[in-house]
Amino acid sequence: MAGVQVANVSRSFGAHKALDNVSIDFADGGFYALLGPSGSGKTTLLRQIAGFDFPDAGRIAIGGESVERVPVEKRRIGMVFQNYALFPNMSVADNVAFGLSVRGEPKVTIAAEVQRALDLVQLGKLGGRKPHQLSGGQRQRVALARAIVTKPRVLLLDEPLGALDKALRVDMQIELKRIQREIGITTIFVTHDQEEALTMSDRIGILRDGRLVQEGPPEEIYDRPQSEFAATFLGDANIFRGDATGSGIKLPDGTTIAASTGAAVPAGAKASCAVRPERIRISPGAAKPDPANANTLTGQVSKRIFAGNNSTYFVDRDGQTLKVIVQNTGAERLAEGQPVVLSWSPDSTVLIAA
Amino acid sequence: MADQLAIGSRRGLKPALPLLLPAYLWLTVAIFLPLSAMVFFSLMTDLPVAGKEWSFTLGNYAAFFSQSLYSTLLLSSLRLGLEVTLWCVVIGYPAAYVLAKVLKGRSREAIFLLVILPFWSNGLVRIFSWAMVLREGGILDTALNAVLPFKINIDLMYSYPAVIIGLVHSYVPYMVLTCYLTLQAIDDSLIEAGRSLGASRRQVLWRVIIPLSMPGLIAGAALIFVPVVGSFMEPRILGGRTGTFYGTVIEDQFVSVFNWPLGAALSFILLAVVLIILALAAPVLRRAA
């Protein structure tokens, strides 16, 4: 096992800067998600770490050893591809055995290791099948077994759950996490699914246009996003834009919003505030001052979406539509068109420099 | 959805008949009838033209077994087929690989065009142009002597290598095309997966790419081997005196000796031998594919 250090890596394809001076330290044994929209450079970064492509500039080290010019087959990595990339002409066991067999390991060792890996992914009895006889989830497990049987230093996963349906995806998330804990391997996971990134990883790196936008544990990024992009890409957020006052912002209509978390922005500069929809309290009728929820706005419900355990209210206010998520506690439901008061705490408000 | 599937798979042959009929009518008229006539001829003592007397006989088939000349020629034709097929693999497979996996876009189209260009020229023209190149004092000879400081004498004309060169030239596009199709269908991520598991490029080639492209190699080999074993044009024009093969003997029976019954019988023996070879190879090939 080993950590991975990416330092100032840049890679361009023609005029397109796929990676622009990206630096991330992947700690040994951690589960790391690279999150970003398509074209953000997350897969390019993974391919640099794997060695399918070499950076134009910068340094990549696996376990402290510089690898940026080392070809993929010498990097001792394990990789799971988006489409699994199982060899269709080989049985499941031969697929898993491939990495050991090209190394020239003795047959007895290979058979034992393959069985162990298949048992780990709970496919111990399916070694004799061909890949086309397996379901999507089973193929996924074979791909994982094949990637870890060689005891790689790093496990790289390129949107591995993208092709599975929702229920299976949740199962595989849990399974993947269990296996990763069990073998303690440094894992780097590319995804565009924010929920996947939130639930599985120890740390998340958000990429956009080839740059690292923010990096840290999921809670930290969710609670203290440093940019509007990070706030809206990881989870939902209501964004208010205005002028910084030193303790929050002043909206163009004069309303002030207090924020007690986030960046320090000098008074007078442009700034925004982000509030998560589930942090806002929505109540009918006239505004009552509430010291715990000092930020107060009035508006009108324009739409309600009922989703069983919660409801999402869209509230129109001064040309802006705000989103509020309310747990279904059996309390009175608000009707569309009803005037409402929104209130939330400055503690739930993150100040973001423009 | 289930209904549509059922329509596609279970309505049987009847609705498909209008689609099948033209092809099978054509095959019947163009292949089955002439071949039947040939079977008939091969069992005759003489051609029924100009009121000649004839009767049924198996003598034409017996001739193959009574004279060792024919089986010797058949063996050398089979060897020719093997050698030409082998050279087509050696030359065609790498080209197909580059076309399918290395080149992209415009350059791929251009190179592809060069591969199928020979199909657009007349076969006889191709062979005679090789004659111009290969003969003593021909293009190859002159060109090499113009470049090399010492005098060499290239006279490949009327030799076994000339026949091989001409045949490989005619048939290598089949190998390129069939291999290109199977190689192109191999997902690049399989190659990357192999390398991420520690396999060198060579190991990926032998363990992943070649096994997966085996159907194309086999199809190409069958498309080349069968006609080459019966070929007569290239051996006759480029091989001269050394170019006597089973195919040229059959051609002689039809064109110069006018012993159609013997020619027909020899053809059917060739057909049988080729079918037996393909049948024997089938289980091995199926496992490889």
Q: Specify if B201 maps to a domain.
A: yes
- Single-letter code of the amino acid located at A58: G
A47 membership: H or E segment, kind and range: helix A42-50
**DSSP class of residue A196?**
H
Query: Which chain B residues touch A150 with a CB distance below 8 Å?
Result: 197-198
Domains and CATH numbers, chain A: 4-223 (3.40.50.300), 236-353 (2.40.50.100)
Which of the residue ranges B23-27, B137-141, B189-193, B257-261 would you say has the lowest mean pLDDT? B137-141
Structural domain range at position B132 = 68-288
Residue of A nearest to B188 (CA): A85
pLDDT at residue B141, as a whole number: 81
User: In terms of Cα–Cα distance, which of B244, B100, B106 is closest to B178?
Assistant: B100
Query: CB–CB of A52 and B192 under 8 A?
Result: yes
Place of tokens 């199977």: B182
Q: What is the pLDDT of residues A50-70, one digit of tens each?
A: 999 999 999 999 999 999 889
B280 membership: H or E segment, kind and range: helix B260-288
Per-residue pLDDT band for B53 (boundaries 50, 70, 90) equals confident
Mutate to test the interface with B, among A54, A90, A102, A188 (most CBs of B within 10 A): A102
Query: Which chain A residues touch B190 with a CB distance below 8 Å?
Result: 85, 87-88
Query: CB–CB of B197 and A146 under 8 A?
Result: yes
Query: Which chain B residues touch A73 with a CB distance below 8 Å?
Result: 195-200
Q: Specify if B14 maps to a domain.
A: no
pLDDT at residue B11, as a whole number: 64
Q: Specify if B4 maps to a domain.
A: no
- Cα distances (angstroms) measured from residue A91 to each of A130, A139, B176, B283, B285: 4, 11, 29, 19, 18
The count of C-alpha atoms lying within 13 angstroms of the C-alpha of A266, restricted to the half-sphere facing its C-beta, is: 1
Q: Would the pLDDT of A97 be above 90? A: yes
Give CA torsion, residues B29, B33, B35, B40, to 10 deg.
Answer: -170
Residue of B nearest to A149 (CA): B197
Query: CB–CB of A79 and B192 under 8 A?
Result: yes
What gap in Å lies between CA A333 and CA A342, rounded to an integer?
15
A 23-42 residues inside an 8 A Cβ radius of B: none
Question: Cα dihedral sign for B39, B40, B42, B48?
Answer: negative
Residue A242 burial (C-beta neighbours within 10 Å; 0-12, 13-18, 19+): buried
A81 at the B interface (CB within 8 A)? yes
Residue A342 forms beta bridges with which residues?
A282, A297
Q: What is the pLDDT of residues B173-192, one digit of tens each?
A: 999 999 999 999 999 999 99
Q: The domain spanning residue B148 has which CATH number?
A: 1.10.3720.10
Query: Which chain A residues touch B203 with a CB distance below 8 Å?
Result: 102
ipTM: 0.84
What gap in Å lies between CA B40 and CA B47, rounded to an integer?
10
Q: Would the pLDDT of B1 be above 50? A: no
Query: CB–CB of B198 and A81 under 8 A?
Result: no
Residue of A nearest to B212 (CA): A89
**Is the CB of residue A280 less than 8 Å from the CB of residue A343?**
yes
pLDDT at residue B289, as a whole number: 56
Smallest Cβ–Cβ distance between B208 and the set A83, A87, A146 belongs to A87
- Cα distances (angstroms) measured from residue A101 to each of A124, A141, A156, B201, B282: 19, 20, 21, 15, 29
Query: CB–CB of A102 and B197 under 8 A?
Result: yes
Q: What is the pLDDT of residues B149-171, one digit of tens each?
A: 887 777 788 889 999 999 999 89
A21 membership: H or E segment, kind and range: strand A16-26
Query: Which chain A residues touch B198 with a CB distance below 8 Å?
Result: 73-74, 76, 99, 102-103, 150
**Is the CB of residue A26 less than 8 Å from the CB of residue A196?**
no
Residue of B nearest to A150 (CA): B197
Residue A244 backbone dihedrals phi, psi, to 5 degrees: -70, 140
HEC letters along A22-40: EEEEECCCCEEEEECCCCC
Q: Would the pLDDT of B93 be above 70? A: yes
Residue of B nearest to A148 (CA): B197
Query: Which chain A residues touch B192 with a CB distance below 8 Å?
Result: 52, 72, 79, 81, 85
Query: CB–CB of B189 and A82 under 8 A?
Result: yes
Q: Specify if B95 maps to a domain.
A: yes
Six-digit token string for A73: 């087959």
**Is the CB of residue A131 less than 8 Å from the CB of residue A74?**
no
Residue A44 forms beta bridges with which residues?
none
Six-digit token string for B153: 């004498």
Split into its structural domains, chain B has a count of 1
Sheet holding A211-216, edge to edge: A77-80, A154-158, A186-191, A31-35, A203-208, A211-216
A306 at the B interface (CB within 8 A)? no
Query: CB–CB of B198 and A85 under 8 A?
Result: no
Supply the angle between the helices B105-120 and B160-184 in degrees, to the nearest 10: 140
Q: Specify if B20 maps to a domain.
A: no
Q: Would the pLDDT of A37 be above 60? A: yes
Query: CB–CB of A79 and B212 under 8 A?
Result: no
Per-residue pLDDT band for A163 (boundaries 50, 70, 90) equals confident
A13 at the B interface (CB within 8 A)? no
Question: Cα dihedral sign for A278, A283, A287, A288?
Answer: negative
Six-digit token string for A18: 């796929």
Which of the listed ranges A161-170, B125-134, B269-278 does the model predict with the highest average pLDDT?
A: B269-278
Q: Specify if B139 maps to a domain.
A: yes
Smallest Cβ–Cβ distance between B190 and the set A76, A87, A150 belongs to A87
B199 at the A interface (CB within 8 A)? yes
pLDDT at residue B6, as a whole number: 44
Smallest Cβ–Cβ distance between A81 and the set B189, B198, B203 belongs to B189
Residue A276 backbone dihedrals phi, psi, to 5 degrees: -70, 140
Per-residue pLDDT band for A246 (boundaries 50, 70, 90) equals confident
To the nearest whole Å, the CA of A113 is away from the closest chain B CA by: 15
To the nearest whole Å, the CA of B9 is away from the closest chain A CA by: 21
Q: Specify if B48 maps to a domain.
A: no
Q: DSSP string spanning B254-266?
A: HHTS--HHHHHHH
Smallest Cβ–Cβ distance between A72 and the set B190, B196, B212 belongs to B196
What gap in Å lies between CA B119 and CA B171, rounded to an integer?
10
Q: Would the pLDDT of B2 be above 70? A: no
To the nearest whole Å, the CA of A109 is away from the closest chain B CA by: 17
Residue of B nearest to A79 (CA): B196
